[in-house]
A = this chain, B = another copy of it.
């Protein structure tokens, strides 16, 4: 009860969610989310940066995402940052940081009407 680890994102999906059923019938979904921000440099010129995030969803949230979200959907996602390690094919350790979401708000008219 002493730590806080929270991520909040609003952005568009870069791909359709990948969906999987794990052992024990647990659902997982994963997608890329692009967050785009504009800022003005000191010459008054507008620049745009895009950051890409890997969002992972479990259980009923994964089912919802698979059913209603698609490439291009606009969503609010809230969750926590989690860095996993794995061994690549050369046998060296690699790290990947993901956002494990526990809340999703669909911001597209389309998506919401379906709900």
Contacts and interface: CB of A to CB of B under 8 A. Distances in A.
Interface of A: 1-11, 34-38, 50-53, 74, 76, 80-83, 90, 92, 94-97, 99, 104-107, 109, 112, 115
27 contacts: A1-B38, A1-B104, A1-B115, A2-B10, A2-B105, A2-B112, A3-B34, A3-B50, A4-B8, A4-B9, A4-B11, A4-B76, A5-B11, A5-B37, A6-B8, A6-B9, A9-B81, A10-B76, A51-B83, A53-B81, A53-B83, A74-B107, A81-B81, A81-B97, A95-B96, A107-B107, A109-B109
Nearest to A109: B109
4 cross-chain pairs, A with B, having the tightest CB-CB distances, nearest first: A97-B97, A4-B10, A3-B35, A5-B35
Contacts of A109: 109
Majority SS at the chain A contact face: strand
Contacts of A81: 7, 9, 51, 53, 81, 97, 99
Q: How many copies does the complex hold?
A: 4
A35 B1 contact: no
